[in-house]
């Protein structure tokens, strides 16, 4: 029984180590922006995400159905990037996005491949285009 307890403890420790390594792999060494949004109930949310620049806009790529409700129509969001917070108009862009996927792979390298291995693209993936609302920023 003692051996079983050691085995379970080892498995739990390994899972914690893998989860911590996953988060560090995603967060360390590459740009991570902070997106500030307000849901339909008025509650504010902040999400740490990857971002790429393309076609004069900032592009975000995420999975999950919660984004479909949040970005069902264009909304105004805040984005903290490079020490500045700017206001953007966020617009969902349906369909496949091979250019955005390529830019993410180039920028985030092995970390992007790791994330896509754990959470492959599926119909719930949503790409959001952020266009600047104004030139006012705060730092």
pLDDT per residue as tens digits for the range 24-80: 555 665 789 999 998 778 889 898 889 999 999 999 987 667 777 888 888 899 999
Query: What is the predicted pLDDT for the residue at 64?
Result: 67
Is 139 a residue whose pLDDT tops 50? no
pLDDT in tens, 72-130: 888 899 999 999 999 999 998 877 888 998 999 999 988 888 877 777 777 667 889 99
CA neighbor of 62 nearest in space, from 87, 86, 37, 29: 37
DSSP string, the chain: -HHHHHHHHHHHHHHHHHHHHHHHHHHSSS--EEEEEE-TTS-EEEEEE--EEETTEEEEEE-STHHHHHTSS-EEEEEEETTEEEEEEEEEE-S--HHHHHHHHHHHHHHHHHHHHHS---TT-EEEEEEEEEEEEE-
Confidence at 138, pLDDT banded by 50, 70, 90: very low
- What is the reported pTM? 0.75
pLDDT value at position 114? 80
Q: What is the pLDDT of residue 122?
A: 72
């Amino acid at each position: 029984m003692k051996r079983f307890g050691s085995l379970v403890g080892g498995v739990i420790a390994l899972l914690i180590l893998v989860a911590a390594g996953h988060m560090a792999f995603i967060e360390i060494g590459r740009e991570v922006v902070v997106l500030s949004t307000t849901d339909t109930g008025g509650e504010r949310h902040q999400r740490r995400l990857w971002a790429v620049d393309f076609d004069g806009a900032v592009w975000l790529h995420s999975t999950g159905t919660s984004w479909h409700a949040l970005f069902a129509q264009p909304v105004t969001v805040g984005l903290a990037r490079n020490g500045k917070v700017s206001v953007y108009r966020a617009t969902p862009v349906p369909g496949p996005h091979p250019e955005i996927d390529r830019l993410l792979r180039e920028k985030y390298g092995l970390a992007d491949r790791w994330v896509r291995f754990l959470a492959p693209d599926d119909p719930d993936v949503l790409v959001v285009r952020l266009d600047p609302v104004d030139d006012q920023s705060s730092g």
